[in-house]
Amino acid sequence: MPIARPALDGKVLFDRSATELITRTVLRSGHLTEVGGLLLGFRRGHHLHVKFATVPAAGDSSQTFRFVRRGFSHQLFAYKAWVTSGFRCDWIGEWHTHPEPVPVPSVVDLATWRSQVAKTKKPMAYLIVGTSSIWTGVLRSESSIPDKLQMTESHADTVLYSKS
């Protein structure tokens, strides 16, 4: 008999330090080209907890409508976080920008995310920063469409996103 795993209930907790790093990076880019990085953190029961984010680095490809991580710095940061956390901190998602006020996942975004989730067989969090708002979602292996999340709580050190 297969072991039943609890489904992710759509909650993603972001440490404020990760969201502030993303915000500073986006402001520096001026939305002239897409930028992005990894989301790293912990799988805590039904929830994802984003502790760290990586930012664009040498070797990455940043164009008006496309960002591709190519630099080794993302992998190195993720590896160091994994080791220093006692092999618990994991790659739990990605973030990038779109040059539009209200961002929505593109066909390329969805295909990439589906491929990532199919390989990891774990839920992943995704964040798209537009010029006026942010799109946040979670994609699970049993679904082909990400669950869109809304910010439901904001505290000094954390921001919580969940299904509306």
Q: Please identify which of the residues 20, 34, 142, 153 carries the catalytic annotation.
A: 34
Q: Is 34 a residue of the active site? A: yes
Q: Write down how long the chain is.
A: 164
Q: What angle do CA 63, 92, 36 make, to 5 degrees?
A: 15
Catalytic positions? 34
